[in-house]
């Protein structure tokens, strides 16, 4: 699954799935553009890539800011001259709260990063992708696509469902022009995203169900790893998946089938 000679943009590359994907694509031969919310986080990802023998161009941008994303893509064009792979991974859990307590600005913030950020990343990178064809992977979630058990996560789940619909729509539109678009839907993954979740008064929401054998059929209570998600992303952007587009892959150990 070599990516030698190709350039890959990975958003949210400062940590978690984004960091793992950036490292994996670099290991497969791509020149990687780790895009972080801060320059420091992007630089840290780039340093790790370079330490492993890879090549990186670290950039920073808020993916919800069209001007910032456009500037990042312009840097890719001016310094690297091409773009073959886009991994739209940047996202937040945001605020999880009862609907009557969820403030409009909290809803807007989650949608802006997760859904509008995905649109802006793909839309503004598209002119470069169309030059030689390429592959896009959107990092969604089992929440909002196959499970709806995290009561209070209405903004998050809606943004993730929107990502899947967006990817399917553009997969059909872009296929005749040589761009493939797929989605990964992780379940419980051991990353830092939960540290940035604000949960308010969600304890009594929803319907309580107990699974004595654990929530994840493959591993019980053990979450998956960012590297396992990165492996799937690497497959989807490679020539090994050359006839795969408009599909989603659930990387959850079967969790979404039982929860």
59 closest CA partner among 77, 72, 44? 72
Distance CA 250, CA 246 (A): 14
Residue 45: phi and psi, rounded to 5, are: -65, -45
Tokens encoding 13: 């590359």
DSSP state of 150: S
DSSP category for residue 116: I
Q: Active-site residue among 156, 159, 184, 249?
A: 156
Q: How far is the C-alpha of 251 from the C-alpha of 219, rounded, in Å?
A: 12
Q: Is 211 known to be catalytic?
A: no
Gap between the Cα atoms of 17 and 29, Å rounded: 18
CB of 170 within 8 A of CB of 183?
no
Q: How many CA atoms lie within 13 A of 55 on its CB side?
A: 11
The residue count for the chain: 259
Q: What is the 3-state secondary structure (H, E, C) of 21-43?
A: HHHHHHHCCCEEEEEECCHHHHH
Residue the block writes with tokens 């990687």: 32
Catalytic positions are: 156
């Amino acid at each position: 699954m070599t990516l030698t000679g190709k350039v890959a943009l990975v958003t949210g590359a400062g940590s978690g799935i984004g960091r793992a994907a950036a490292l994996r694509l670099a290991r497969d031969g791509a020149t990687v553009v780790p895009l972080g919310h801060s320059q420091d986080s992007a630089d840290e990802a780039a340093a790790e890539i370079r330490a492993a023998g890879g090549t990186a161009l670290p950039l920073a941008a808020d993916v919800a800011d069209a001007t910032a994303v456009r500037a990042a893509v312009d840097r890719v064009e001016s310094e690297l001259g091409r773009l073959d792979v886009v991994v739209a991974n940047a996202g937040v859990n945001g605020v999880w709260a009862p609907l009557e307590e969820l403030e409009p600005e909290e809803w807007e913030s989650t949608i802006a990063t997760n859904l509008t950020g995905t649109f802006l990343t793909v839309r503004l990178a598209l002119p470069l992708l169309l030059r030689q064809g390429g592959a896009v992977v959107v990092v969604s979630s089992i929440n909002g696509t196959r499970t709806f058990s995290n009561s209070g996560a209405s903004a998050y789940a809606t943004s993730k469902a929107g990502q899947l619909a967006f990817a399917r729509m553009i997969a059909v539109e872009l296929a005749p022009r040589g761009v493939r678009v797929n989605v990964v839907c992780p379940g419980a993954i051991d990353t830092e995203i939960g540290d940035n979740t604000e949960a308010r008064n969600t304890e009594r929401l929803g319907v309580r169900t107990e699974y004595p054998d654990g929530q994840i059929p493959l591993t019980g209570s053990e979450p998956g790893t960012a590297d396992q998600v990165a492996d799937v992303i690497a497959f989807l952007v490679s020539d090994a998946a050359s006839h795969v587009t408009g599909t989603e892959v659930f990387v959850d150990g079967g969790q979404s089938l039982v929860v």
